[in-house]
Amino acid sequence: MIYTLDVTKDLPLGKTVIHALRGITMHVEAGEMVGIVGPSGSGKSTLLGIIGGLDTPTSGIVKIDGIDISRMNEDQLTEIRNEKIGFIFQFFNLIPTLTALENVALPIQFARKPNFKPNQRAKELLTMLGLGDRLNHRPSELSGGQQQRVAIARALANNPPILLADEPTGNLDSESGRLVMDTLRQIRDDVGTTIVLVTHDRELAAQTDRTITLVDGVIDSA
Ligand SMILES: Nc1ncnc2c1ncn2[C@@H]1O[C@H](COP(=O)(O)OP(=O)(O)OP(=O)(O)O)[C@@H](O)[C@H]1O
Ligand SMILES: [Mg+2]
């Protein structure tokens, strides 16, 4: 489902270059839930962004669902992201003036999938995530854990085969963090979504099927 071969990423820093990724070869099978762990600055977010088509590698190959996205232009990447990938971030990134239902319905309206009725699907997703009684709440009227579950519903809105999450529990207390992890695992089990999540938290990482450890831009094979 996700495949990288010898991916590198150089980032300019003033007159020097940071070698953020230095040859990453990995694969994630359909329906797997994989954790990416490693110290701060080891390249986790950079790798997730490249897998998700938010960024392109300096060298190497990235395949998503069999499609080589390594050399795609911005328009092509946008299409891949819309078709294949849901993103979840540490800081929820919900639109504050919209209700939970409207936040989830918005990407469905944009995608114009004829058999997805935006409000109906948003309601179904939020109900599945235990927020059926919070549909008309705005983000400021929800707890952090509830906001993150709205963000998960939004990420799932157009039924992407892949869910990518960067520190999805990083802004939550441990109880809400566990609930969000339970939610992600439930999605994997019920919908079969392939999930890659970055986390600092060893305890949460232990709840994934498998972890990949990055150290200084390479996979730690130890
Ligand atoms: N836009 C950028 N320009 C230059 N260097 C960058 C940029 N973004 C990240 N880096 C550098 O690339 C390396 C990898 O960064 P990355 O954000 O992927 O690390 P991370 O593992 O996600 O860290 P954290 O756990 O703190 O989020 C770091 O050395 C960082 O300083
Ligand atoms: Mg990061």
What pLDDT is stored for residue 204 in this prediction?
Answer: 86
- Residue closest to 94 by CA, chosen among 131, 53, 50, 64: 131
Instruction: Indicate the top mutation candidate among 15, 16, 18 to test ligand 1's pocket, ranked by most ligand atoms within 8 A of CB.
Output: 18
CATH number (domain holding residue 167): 3.40.50.300
Residue nearest to atom 26 of ligand 1 (CA): 40
Beta bridge partners of 36: 198, 212
Q: How do residues 122-168 score in pLDDT, each as one tens digit? A: 999 999 889 999 999 999 999 999 999 999 999 999 999 999 999 99
Atom of ligand 1 at shortest range from CA of 48: 18
Q: How do residues 73-109 score in pLDDT, each as one tens digit? A: 999 999 999 999 999 988 889 999 999 999 999 999 9
CA gap 33, 25 in Å, rounded? 17
Residue nearest to atom 3 of ligand 1 (CA): 11
The total number of structural domains in the chain stands at 1
- Residue closest to 155 by CA, chosen among 78, 88, 109: 88
- Domain encompassing residue 189: 2-219
Task: Find all residues with CB under 8 Å of 201, minimum gap 6, and list them.
Answer: 169, 177
Q: How confident is the model at residue 222 (pLDDT cuts 50, 70, 90)?
A: low
- 14 ligand 1 Cβ < 6 A: no
Sign (positive or negative) of CA dihedral 35, 52, 194, 183: positive
What pLDDT is stored for residue 176 in this prediction?
Answer: 85
Atom of ligand 1 at shortest range from CA of 46: 18
Give the global pTM: 0.92
CA gap 63, 187 in Å, rounded? 23
